[in-house]
Amino acid sequence: MAIFEGSGVAIVTPMHEDLSVNYEKLAELLDEQIEGGTDAIIICGTTGESATLTVPEHLDVIRFAIKHVNKRIPVIAGTGSNCTNTAIEMSKEAEEAGADGLLVVTPYYNKATQKGLITHYTRIAESVHIPIIMYNVPSRTGCNLQPATVAYLVKNVENIVGVKEASGNISQVAELMHLAGEGIDLYSGNDDQVIPLLSLGGKGVISVLANVAPRETHDMVAKYLAGDTAGGMKIQLEAIPLISALFCEVNPIPVKMALNLMGKEVGPLRGPLSEMEPQNVEKLKKAMIEFGIKLA
């Protein structure tokens, strides 16, 4: 059984002006996501600025989210690292805190071989008992998790159950699903490819878009999985301009700006991320309004 089916939000980490974590605001965002139909919370992923959270902060944010959500929907903790031992320790802590699953990105910068990736993921999985979703995003990590490697891990390591695929390569995803068969939970890691990946057997999306449009992102997946392929496709295509605007600068710069434009007051970004260029803010505003999102 999959950790979740539908729309999982890769939720932002709100900050105070002094760049400390704003837990009161995080609680509000979590409640709004649940009320908006989101099917799972992914905490401390890329969108949550995990790269600039200290390890104690990272674990505190995970613990807070798990406690606040209180089993209303699954909470999946981002615990990846380019150090296997660090990933193991964070994964153990997340499991102890009550996470329903883990999202583990491929090691970045090191550029591990496929053999190294098998060892990395196997060691992490053997250190915990909860399910693991691997995360393949070579544009950020410089490391591509090959279809044969994914299939091997899912078939041979009991609690490695799926992959968040953000390679953007539909042919690679098709090969992956051919090799892995029915025993894998596939999630789109690209908001502009949700329906294509569902058509290849996907279970849902781990979404940036859901931060600003939780109901629509949920409905896109729910309609498709219920057999209303036209309804799901309609939402996907209508969302394309907004998705484009949300990625016109590196994530999570635009999505934090979008939430602030909505009056959510999620605060600034930690360096080295910088505030959005004015011309891109205007592009984002236009796309949000056209999609029906109210600005503050």
The catalytic residue positions are 135, 164
Those residues with Cβ within 8 angstroms of residue 57's Cβ, 6 or more apart along the chain or in another chain: 21
β-pair partners for 105: 135
Buried b / exposed e across 125-136, counting CB within 10 Å, b at 16+?
Answer: beebebbbbbbb
Inter-residue contact 45 to 94 (CB < 8 Å): no
Check the CA dihedral 31-32-34-35 and report its sign. positive
Query: What DSSP assignment string belongs to 162-177?
Result: EEEE-S--HHHHHHHH
Which residues are 75's β-sheet partners? 41
> Is 206 annotated among the ligand-binding residues?
yes
Contact between 8 and 99 (Cβ < 8 Å): no
Q: Which residues contact 147 (CB under 8 A, 6 or more apart)?
A: 172, 175, 176, 178, 179, 180
Question: Which residues are annotated as part of the binding site?
Answer: 47, 206
Question: Which residues are annotated as part of the binding site for pyruvate?
Answer: 47, 206
